[in-house]
Structure 1
Amino acid sequence: MSLKSTQFRVIDLFCGCGGLSLGLHNAGYNIIAGFDNWKFAIDLYQKNFKHPSFLIDLGNLEGDFSIFKDFNPDIIVGGPPCQDFSSAGKRDETLGRGDLTLVFAEIIATIQPQFLIMENVPRFIKTQKYQQAKAILKSANYGLSEIILDASLCGVPQTRKRFFWIGEFRGKDDQFQLDLKANLSPKPLTIRDYFNQIGKPLDIDHYYRHPRSYKRRGIFSIDQPSPTIRSVNRPIPKTYQPHPGDSALISPNIRPLTTLERSYIQTFPEDFIFTGTKTHLEQMIANAVPVKLAEYVGYCLTEYQEKLNC
């Protein structure tokens, strides 16, 4: 028998400050627990969710996954650390954080929830860890649908591209085709349109985003989606030289986006509680799964379930 999304019991293994949990909650899922190894993230998570959350290092469980089994989840979700795979990182799978993706797969294989949802950077599909994790899940009889989604087509004013695995426990039949493209927007969502939509119109037309190097542009228009939100958020340096790709010349009307504005670009709602140091908040917001992106995936899975119930 197929469950409705409101009946699904969901645990989030890399909950961070809660983007994936909140998005799935908004899509009608019953989030029952969150887990993370970063105290600052767990502290913030606990301020925003009523269900229990736990400070835990999944890399030190040594195969004992009983804490997750006790929750009897129907869905296990998570975004394992992506720094070892990311184009913004060192692209070195031997650094250790990529192993948590394998732990995630092993937890799925052991607990055997009906569904799994995993998020990572697009480059993940080019890694050995991708092949290893996929082999673990396939051996555990999971059918997998996978896609790289552009968040700007999913209700997020940001061209953040992310890889998703959605898996279903299928027994011997591992064919699982979930349509994750049917509801994509025909055009990207701009910052201006989204901020007007949420009743927070900006007082600027262009903003500064600190580039990774001065070979890259730093000035962007709010009439486009934001590039991927990163943890670095600095004032315009006095030494900044105009770049041919800049959307406008440096002027007193151009500033960096605030931490709160960046949280809106990640589609966190106005009433989401953010406390802590600016450095920690910027990092947690940048690491989060955009709320509306998680909602989009959740609604796609709900539609799949509704078709099964017809």
Structure 2
Amino acid sequence: MSPVLMNSYFCGAGLMDIGLKNAGIQIAQSFELDKDAVKTYRHNLGNHIKHCDITQEMVLEQDSCHGMSFTYPCTKYSTIGDIHGTRTGDELFLHALRHLAVAQPEFYVIENVPGMLAFPIVMETMTKLAGYFIQVFCPVKSELWVSSCNVPLRPICAKWGRTIASVVTSSRSVITL
């Protein structure tokens, strides 16, 4: 059986990619803007990361994949951003959408904070794509391991009729897509 290949966007130092890898998914390519995060990623996970601005990347020039993972920066969606006046959302979700629309992967995963729910345009865009079964959830007790004290929001999306992954929540219930 061939491996499930995934491209990872806004991957940071690779924590989500480590989880995907531990779940048996092979990361084909990763994309990150922060040079220090890229250096850390390379050291820990390998050279399949590209240091780039995803807003300038052409979708069809990337390696093909079965799935896409988007962990765009939460600082623009986090409720703590209200204090600093930075909770504005941002245009990165549009570039994630551009990559999804052009590549049309079999599945995609988005990880962010619940503050993203305050942006109905972003939520509608990323969770109402035609042809995908969408499951949105927040892991239980994740505030124990998330430094910003925000529970991550994870829309998991797969094309209809496909069984591609099982997600184990911290309550040990399994969601099979």
SS in structure 1 of the partner of residue 152 of structure 2: strand
Q: 1:168 to 1:87 in 2, by over 3 A?
A: same
Residue 79 (str. 1) matches residue 75 (str. 2): no
Match of 2:53 in 1: 57
For 2:124 and 2:52, how far apart are their aligned partners in 1? 23
So what's the TM-score if we normalise by structure 1?
0.48
Contact 1:31 1:51 in 2 (8 A): no
Match of 2:171 in 1: 185
One-letter amino acid of the structure 2 residue matched with residue 143 of structure 1: F
Q: Offset at 1:101? A: 1.3
Match of 2:139 in 1: 149
SS in structure 2 of the partner of residue 83 of structure 1: helix
Higher strand share: 2
Match of 2:155 in 1: 165
Match of 2:129 in 1: 138
Superposed, 1:116-131 pairs within 5 Å as: 116-131=108-123
Structure 2 portions without partners, runs of 5+ = none
For 1:185 and 1:131, how far apart are their aligned partners in 2? 25
Q: 1:58 to 1:132 in 2, by over 3 A?
A: farther
Contact 1:151 1:162 in 2 (8 A): no
One-letter amino acid of the structure 1 residue matched with residue 135 of structure 2: S
1:112-171, Cα deviation, whole Å (9 max, x unpaired): 111101101101122044245237x514x2221111223548xx655640101111123x
SS in structure 1 of the partner of residue 36 of structure 2: helix
SS in structure 2 of the partner of residue 130 of structure 1: helix
Contact 1:11 1:33 in 2 (8 A): yes
For 1:185 and 1:145, how far apart are their aligned partners in 2? 16
Q: 1:184 to 1:131 in 2, by over 3 A?
A: closer
Contact 2:112 2:153 in 1 (8 A): yes
Contact 1:10 1:75 in 2 (8 A): yes
For 2:27 and 2:92, how far apart are their aligned partners in 1? 21
For 1:14 and 1:26, how far apart are their aligned partners in 2? 19
For 1:50 and 1:33, how far apart are their aligned partners in 2? 10
Structure 1 portions without partners, runs of 5+ = 187-295, 306-310
Q: Offset at 1:185? A: 3.3
For 1:184 and 1:41, how far apart are their aligned partners in 2? 27
1:222-280, Cα deviation, whole Å (9 max, x unpaired): xxxxxxxxxxxxxxxxxxxxxxxxxxxxxxxxxxxxxxxxxxxxxxxxxxxxxxxxxxx
Q: Offset at 1:51? A: 4.4
Q: Offset at 1:45? A: 0.7
Q: Offset at 1:184? A: 3.1
Match of 1:9 in 2: 5
For 2:29 and 2:152, how far apart are their aligned partners in 1? 23
For 2:74 and 2:121, how far apart are their aligned partners in 1? 11
Per chain length, whose mean CA-contact separation is higher, i.e. which structure has more relative contact order (CA < 8 Å, sep 6+)? Answer: 1
Query: CA RMSD, aligned part only?
Result: 2.9
Superposed, 1:223-242 pairs within 5 Å as: none
Q: 1:18 to 1:66 in 2, by over 3 A?
A: same
